[in-house]
Amino acid sequence: MGQDIRKMMRDYQPGTPKLAEGHEARFEAKLIAAGTKESGVSTFLWLKIAAVVVAFVAVGSFAFYSINGSGEDTSITTADTDNIETIAQSGITLGDISPDLKKIEAYYMTGINVQLASLQVTDDNKELVDGYMARLAELDIEYDKLNNELNEVGPTEVTITALIENLQLRLELLFKLKNKLKELKNQNNEDYNII
């Protein structure tokens, strides 16, 4: 029953395989059908890309108009911008020490500026906002003092940590203010609905 493989390999004559009749025509038809499906997918892909672009434009324009429009109190952002300029002119900042600290400082300063720009000050919440702004002003003064210490003494771990914690505290304070404003707005809406 067994066959000698060596004998089989000696007698083996390689030949060219023959394709079934009509194989080439069927293959071409499948290629054409796949090409038609692929062009449909590519059209669908372009529609997805267009939808993403439209969404980005919509979000960008919404953010632009909500920050620049709607009669917000711009003196708050102006005061913070002045503070940033004085910090930049004062000498060494966190960003000058290392690129990582520059990223951290930029992250927090951007967050603070975005939160300040999105505040909507009305007569109903002006007192609450003023209280938080007074606390932010105190933190700004403390940040300036820490920055002066950074310039006079040099970068120390304690000073750098205190600067970062100051930025964190300011951002957390703004988040708390936003939450209080939401609560106040919801309470006003509930009082209005009861009447």
**One domain, residues 63 and 76:** no
Predicted confidence (pLDDT) at residue 9 exceeds the cutoff of 70: yes
Report how far residue 21's alpha carbon sits from residue 121's, in angstroms, rounded to the nearest whole number: 81
76 in a structural domain: yes
Quick one: 92 and 165 in the same domain?
yes
Split into its structural domains, the chain has a count of: 2
In a domain, 46, yes or no: yes
Kindly report, residue by residue over 69-105, the tens digit of the pLDDT.
Answer: 544 444 444 444 444 444 444 477 777 787 888 888 8
- Give the whole-angstrom CA distance, residue 124 versus residue 128: 9
Same domain, 113 and 158: yes
Judge if 176 and 163 occupy the same domain. Answer: yes
For a pLDDT cut of 70, what percent of the chain falls above it? 78
- Terminus-to-terminus CA distance in the chain, angstroms? 101
- 35 & 49 share domain: yes
Q: Which two tokens stand for residue 81?
A: 């911008």
Is 93 in the same domain as 150?
yes
CA–CA gap between residue 92 and residue 109 (Å, rounded): 16
Together in a domain, 119 and 162: yes
- The whole-number pLDDT of residue 69 equals 55
Same-domain check for residues 53 and 90: no
- Give yes or no: residues 166 and 77 share one domain: yes
- Dump pLDDT digits (tens) for 149-161: 888 888 888 888 8
> Is residue 18 left, alpha or beta, with left meaning phi > 0 and alpha meaning psi from -120 to 50?
beta
- CA–CA gap between residue 109 and residue 49 (Å, rounded): 32
Query: Is residue 153, in this structure, part of any structural domain at all?
Result: yes
0.85 exceeded by the pTM? no
Q: Mean pLDDT score of the chain, rounded to an integer? A: 76
- Give the confidence band of 1 by pLDDT, cuts at 50, 70, 90: low
pLDDT higher than threshold 80 for residue 38: no
pLDDT of residue 70: 47
Q: Domain span at residue 135?
A: 72-190
pLDDT of residue 37: 56
Across 11-15, average pLDDT? 76
Predicted local distance difference test score (pLDDT) of residue 36: 58
Is residue 167 located within the same domain as residue 82?
A: yes
Residues 77 and 102 in one domain: yes
| Cβ neighbour number for residue 72 with a 10 Å cutoff | 18
- For 142-180, b/e burial (b = at least 16 CB within 10 A) is ebeebbebbeeeebeeebbebbbebbebbbebbeebeee
Other CB atoms within 10 A of residue 83 CB: 18
Are 73 and 121 spatial neighbours (Cβ–Cβ below 8 Å)? Answer: yes
